[in-house]
Amino acid sequence: MNLEAPAGDGADLVARSRALLDRHWRAAGYTVPNEAVYPWQWLWDSCFHALVWNRLGRPDRAIAETRRALGAADPTGFVPHMIYEGVGPDTDFWGRPHTSSITQPPIYGHTLAELHRTGTEVPGDLVAAARAGLVHLLAHRPRHDSGLIPLVHPWESGCDDSPRWDDTLQGDWSRDAWRVRKSELVAEIVRGAGGAPLRNPHFDVAPVGFNALVAFCARELCTVAPDAELAGLADQLASSICGRWDPGAATWVDAGETETGSGRVRTLDAVLALLVDDTPGRVGSAARDLVEPDAFGSPWGPSGVHRAESSFDPVTYWRGPVWPQLGYLAWLALERLGRSAEAAVVAQGVVAGATASGFAEYWDPDTGGGLGAIPQSWSALAALFVDG
Ligand code: GLC
């Protein structure tokens, strides 16, 4: 397969990204992922939008959007993954009005670090709110025996239909059965006195991907404001993640009830362990996989699932398509590890995919054809990879 993606026009891509984000900006101070399918604020989406706003010369919007996301936190630092505006679902569903009661990967640590690196002043209240969100996960949510932080719900991973969770479904995975199970799992979350989610006895999973993002984003926040306690917590978590590499499976393995089965499926979110594990042999193997066409590589960016997995399906939500925000994070890991050749292939693929798919939520790694919500704001991350 030819890994050369069609060359795009950078200025045009930037102009289209700006038009998309402008259209999706809301006066309340955030960007909707999609006007019809996702008409509210989502936590990790907003953290990615803020990176794009900053790239587009609107750090004010980057700050505003991050502030609104973190402003929904409760006194324990728990940050909900959705903030509704106008009509949301019944309060009964989440057990509270206005916001959800689970979280998503705390990308805000990276976002604030990136703003800081590019010369945008990061207000102290945002650093404090981000720290509280990270400490909530690192110190208040009870740990799994493995040392990893457990999820209370697959939605917390941001990758909710990933084959990594398949073993938690009794019986064969199907999108419909999983949809029903995902709703049931919300009611089974065990919460603290103020309602923050603590654990889920019916979803005993502590994934390396989510944990790598927590450890990485905590370290990132420490580059904005040195913080020995936070750095110590991040180092400890990172060392637990490094212990999860399995040379036979050639991936990092999740802890919990999926450990001996679906928790070993080679998914892209697990490869994000590269953000905290720089062991040379692993880096070589994972970096190669990210660009090899018989693994994750495609001209349209890295697929969400390794092609050799029996669950790989190039067109089904979280079962194989390319996701631009995961592509961005994979690129970031490669860049930081000095793997610039593979990083360039990933970046070029995300640009080609975002362009070909019409800025889709996710797309087919075989054709670049758009899937899910179109257009979706986080596709504009491609603007970070071009000049213009
Ligand atoms: C989907 C994705 C999730 C994202 C949300 C809004 O549910 O799985 O990661 O945050 O859409 O874009």
**Pocket of ligand 1 contains residue 45 by CB under 6 Å:** yes
**Pocket of ligand 1 contains residue 38 by CB under 6 Å:** yes
Rounded to whole angstroms, the Cα distance separating 282 from 205 reads: 23
**Pocket of ligand 1 contains residue 44 by CB under 6 Å:** yes
Burial call 275-291: b when 16+ CB within 10 Å, e when fewer:
bbbeeeebbebbbebbb
DSSP 3-state of 372: coil
Give the β-pairing of 362-363 and 370-371: antiparallel
What is the rounded average pLDDT of the residues 298-321? 98
Which ligand 1 atom is the nearest neighbour of the CA of 38?
Answer: 6
Q: Is residue 101 very low, low, confident or very high in pLDDT (cuts 50, 70, 90)?
A: very high
Cβ atoms of 198 and 142 closer than 8 Å: yes
Please tell me what DSSP assigns to residue 152: S
Q: 112-125, pLDDT tens digit by residue?
A: 999 999 999 999 99
Q: Is residue 104 very low, low, confident or very high in pLDDT (cuts 50, 70, 90)?
A: very high
**Pocket of ligand 1 contains residue 216 by CB under 6 Å:** no
**Pocket of ligand 1 contains residue 375 by CB under 6 Å:** no
Rounded to whole angstroms, the Cα distance separating 113 from 234 reads: 15
Q: Is residue 186 very low, low, confident or very high in pLDDT (cuts 50, 70, 90)?
A: very high
Tell me, in angstroms, the distance from the centre of ligand 1 to residue 362's CA. Answer: 10
pLDDT at 349 over 70: yes
pLDDT at 90 over 80: no
Q: 202-245, pLDDT tens digit by residue?
A: 999 999 999 999 999 999 999 999 999 999 999 999 999 999 99
Which of 315, 371, 328 lies closest to 105, judged by CA?
Answer: 328
Which of 183, 195, 187 lies closest to 101, judged by CA?
Answer: 195
Q: pLDDT value at position 124?
A: 98
Query: DSSP per residue over 7-69, as a string?
Result: PP-HHHHHHHHHHHHHHHEETTTEE-SBTTTB-SEEHHHHHHHHHHHHHTT-HHHHHHHHHHH
- Write down the pTM of the prediction: 0.97
Tell me, in angstroms, the distance from the centre of ligand 1 to residue 2's CA. Answer: 30
Cβ atoms of 252 and 210 closer than 8 Å: no
Which ligand 1 atom is the nearest neighbour of the CA of 45?
Answer: 10
Rounded to whole angstroms, the Cα distance separating 364 from 371 reads: 7
What is the rounded average pLDDT of the residues 197-201? 97
How many Å is the maximal CA-CA distance in the chain?
55
Rounded to whole angstroms, the Cα distance separating 238 from 208 reads: 10
Rounded to whole angstroms, the Cα distance separating 186 from 137 reads: 18
Tell me, in angstroms, the distance from the centre of ligand 1 to residue 340's CA. Answer: 29
Q: 244-288, pLDDT tens digit by residue?
A: 999 999 999 999 999 999 999 999 999 999 999 999 999 999 999
Cβ atoms of 364 and 300 closer than 8 Å: yes
Q: pLDDT value at position 388?
A: 84
Q: pLDDT value at position 8?
A: 56
